[in-house]
Amino acid sequence: MGEKIKVSAIMPCSAQELYNAWLSSKEHSAFSGGKAKIDPKKNGKFTAWDKYIERTTLELKPYKCIVQSWRTTEFPDDSPDSQLEILLEEAKNGTKITLVHTNIPDGQAEEYKQGWIDYYFEPMKEYFAAKKK
C-alpha cells in the first residue's frame, strides 16, 4: 500500500506565483537547485533534481492544486508510482503550501518528508524572498 506523509510551510509569495514557479522548468530549477524539465500541462511529463525525480502531471487546478504521479531513482523497480498533491491556499504573509505524498515505498517516507523540507521548502522560501527585493 505504501506510506503517506504531509508537510506544510508558508511561502512569501502569492499562490499564483508559487503555482507558476512549480510548473516552470526555469523557476523550478532555480528554487530547488537541481535541473528540472517540465511540460506544464495535464498529462505533461516532468523531471526534477537532474532526473532524480520523474513522472507525469495528472491534474491542474490553477493556483490551488497540482497532482502528479511521482517517483525517484530510489524506488524499487516493482514499486508503483507514488502520488504527490501540491495544495495551495492564501495565508497571512503569503501562501500555505501543503504536500500530501502517498504510496511511498515502505521505509522511505521519513527520508522524503525531510527531503521536502530541506530541498524544497527552505530553498523556496529564500528564492521567493529574494524575488521580492
Q: Report d(CA 18, CA 97) in Å as an integer.
A: 9
Q: Rg of the chain over CA atoms, in angstroms?
A: 14
pLDDT in tens, 42-95: 999 999 999 999 999 999 999 999 999 999 999 999 999 999 999 999 999 999
Kindly report the length of the chain.
Answer: 133
Please give the grid coordinates belonging to residue 86: 501540491
Reported pTM = 0.95
The domain that holds 21 is classified in CATH as 3.30.530.20
What are the two backbone dihedrals, phi and then psi, of residue 15, each rounded to the nearest 5 degrees? -60, -40
Q: Report d(CA 84, CA 19) in Å as an integer.
A: 14
CA triplet 114, 8, 120: central angle to 5 degrees? 50
Residue in 46, 12, 13 with CA at minimum distance from that of residue 28: 46
pLDDT in tens, 62-76: 999 999 999 999 999
Confidence of residue 122 (pLDDT cuts 50, 70, 90): very high
Count of domains for the chain: 1
Q: Tell me which residue range forms the domain holding 60.
A: 3-132
Please give the grid coordinates belonging to residue 58: 495528472
CB 101 within 8 A of CB 112: yes
Q: What is the predicted pLDDT for the residue at 132?
A: 82
CA triplet 108, 32, 107: central angle to 5 degrees? 0
